[in-house]
């Protein structure tokens, strides 16, 4: 997958908000891989500090499923749900950030690759 070019501001989300993440799925030569060429595409989403899996996304199939679309040019679009960026730790105060990792793993033509996206989720005051 192409390297994330997100700025710190773009990686930072308020807890329980909806956002979009886009990246191109690529092979070892950085050539785009169309969705029809993918064998598998999974997402594991977890909190860095505790290792807690977030929103049941533990090796979850996201090959044109579960809020993720991949087009014929290899463009992946993940519509991040409010449940994807909940604060799971108990040590944050309002305004502090909790780091989450979205691990994308994919296979094609007997090959495999991974891509990590680090998101910083801001604890808001009185969010339920």
CATH match for 8-122 among 2.60.40, 1.10.3710, 2.30.30, 1.10.3470: 2.60.40
| Full-model pTM | 0.91
**pLDDT of the residue at 38:** 97
d(CA 74, CA 72): 6
Reading the block at residue 84, the tokens are 């994807």
b/e per residue 54-68 (b: at least 16 CB within 10 A)? bbebeebebeeebbb
**pLDDT of the residue at 92:** 75
Question: Could you read off the pLDDT of 65-122 as tens digits, one per residue?
Answer: 999 999 999 999 999 999 999 999 877 788 899 999 999 999 999 999 999 999 999 9
**pLDDT of the residue at 126:** 66
């Amino acid at each position: 997958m192409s390297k994330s070019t997100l700025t710190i501001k773009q990686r930072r989300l308020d807890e329980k908000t909806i956002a979009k993440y886009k990246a191109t799925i690529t092979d070892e030569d950085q050539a785009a891989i169309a969705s029809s060429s993918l064998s598998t595409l999974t997402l594991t989403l977890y909190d860095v500090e505790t290792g807690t899996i977030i929103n049941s996304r533990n090796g979850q199939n996201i090959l044109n499923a579960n809020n993720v679309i991949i087009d014929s040019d290899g463009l992946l679009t993940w519509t991040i749900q409010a449940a994807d960026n909940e604060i799971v730790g108990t040590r944050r105060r309002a305004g502090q950030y909790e780091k989450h990792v979205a691990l994308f793993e994919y296979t094609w033509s007997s090959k495999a690759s991974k891509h990590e996206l680090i998101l910083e989720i801001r604890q808001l005051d009185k969010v339920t």
